[in-house]
Amino acid sequence: MSAFTGITVDREALIANYATVAEQVAPSGVIAVVKANAYGHGATDAARAFVDAGAEWLGVADIDEGIALRESGIDEGTRILAWLHAPDEDFRRAAQYDITPAVSSVSQLSAAADSEVGAVHVCVDTGLSRNGAVESEWPELFETAGRLARSGSRTRVEGLMSHLSNASRADDLDQDAALQRALDGLAANGIVPDMVHLAASAASIAVPETRRDITRVGVALYGLSPFADRTSADLGLRPAMRVTAAVLRTVPVRAGEGASYGFTWRAEQDTRLAVVGLGYADGFDRALGNHVAVRIGDRRFPVVGRVAMNAMHIDIGDADVQVGDEVVLWGDPANGDPAVEEWAAAIGTINYEVVARVGRSVERRTT
């Protein structure tokens, strides 16, 4: 039987990672971040695993992702927070699906209240310069929130959030201090949120002062390290994603002959290539060729030539590799698989990007 071509996600690893993170940040809680199709792991199954592991909150980028979770069966017993909204966002959908929007402006807060959303979190920018109201906008936003509370609006300001840059410990603590100013500003308008949240994976591990009431953790739950100088194993985490592909065919190549577009690789001696059916259309960067190695059996073999739209080539030399054999692109290095960080380093990026970019064209199985 031919090997599976696709992503296998280890549900037990997701559950174990959740437990590891939850224990580490306690008494702070954990919002399990499952945006971007759960960083490529498959949002429905990953969300289910985290809920089964004890998550009371899931975090997504936008309301559409939240609706998809609700429609896949995540019921209202689990809260869903969504923080990025279109300019003309229809917050009635948030109300309808019981999704909690984080609002970054007076207009978003007013639109959420007009839509009778039950609870909102106020999102403030404390330095990332991305989402969230900037400090000059706080007085008007907080006054509006105060007025809303006094008016008996159905919409309650339940939380206050911001997001860190992870530029340095000092920068993160500066952002934490700014968040405190926001909290004080809300209090001056009669609002004391139930939950304040700031830290994501990196700070929740490395800057415990920023954990506040609850952390929003993504990458660590998938078993990946947010740090360049610490591995998953160093953090007690298990990478949950394993990418495998079946050998589609083997091709003999003579010394001097090339492979794939542009012949960025030529055989130094007679050899054989194995072709697998994953390429840049599936999210595997074209530039990876000649820079990473896969595992077949107990050995490593280099990916050679340019990664094509739907295929990549592996130089298998005279190894006994047959059509249908399993090629492991990456998995848990604790089991001898290549690490996703090798794939990230090969193209000058981070593990986050490599896992998140594996396309929806690639089949996912959660086991």
Ligand X SMILES: Cc1ncc(COP(=O)(O)O)c(C=O)c1O
Residues that bind ligand X (CB under 6 A): 33, 83, 163, 200-202, 216-220, 226
Amino acid at the residue 365: R
Alpha carbon 51 to chain centroid, angstroms: 16
Among residues 202 and 329, whose Cβ is nearest to ligand X?
202
Is the backbone peptide bond immediately before 302 cis, with ω within 30 degrees of 0? no
Alpha carbon 139 to chain centroid, angstroms: 33
Cα three-residue angle 23-29-32, rounded to 5 degrees: 95
Q: Shortest Cβ distance from residue 163 to ligand X (Å)?
A: 4
Q: Shortest Cβ distance from residue 144 to ligand X (Å)?
A: 22
Among residues 145 and 198, whose Cβ is nearest to ligand X?
198
Give the residues across from 197 on adjacent strands: 161, 214
Q: Shortest Cβ distance from residue 231 to ligand X (Å)?
A: 16
Note if 18 is an active site residue: no
Whether residue 104 contacts residue 131, with contact meaning beta carbons closer than 8 Å, is answered with yes
Note if 35 is an active site residue: yes
Q: Which one of the listed residues 18, 35, 222, 280 is annotated catalytic? A: 35
Among residues 240 and 259, whose Cβ is nearest to ligand X?
240
**Tokens describing residue 152:** 């008996």
Q: How far apart are CA 78 and CA 51, in angstroms?
A: 7
Using CB positions, name the residue nearest to ligand X. Answer: 218
Q: Which one of the listed residues 39, 97, 222, 261 is annotated catalytic? A: 261
Burial 196-215 (b: 16+ CB within 10 A, else e): bbbbbbbbbbebeebbbebb
309 is in an annotated binding site: yes
Q: Shortest Cβ distance from residue 200 to ligand X (Å)?
A: 3
Among residues 14 and 202, whose Cβ is nearest to ligand X?
202
Among residues 66 and 218, whose Cβ is nearest to ligand X?
218
Q: Shortest Cβ distance from residue 285 to ligand X (Å)?
A: 20
* DSSP states of 273-328: EEEES--GGGT--GGGTTT-EEEETTEEEEEES---SS-EEEE-TT----TT-EEE
Element (H, E) at 341: helix 340-346
The pair phi, psi for residue 249, each rounded to 5°, is: -165, 160
For residues 21, 196, 93 and 86, what is the CA-based torsion angle, rounded to 10 degrees?
-100
312 is in an annotated binding site: no
Q: Catalytic positions, please?
A: 35, 261
Q: Which residues are annotated as part of the binding site?
A: 130, 309
Q: Which residues are annotated as part of the binding site for substrate?
A: 130, 309
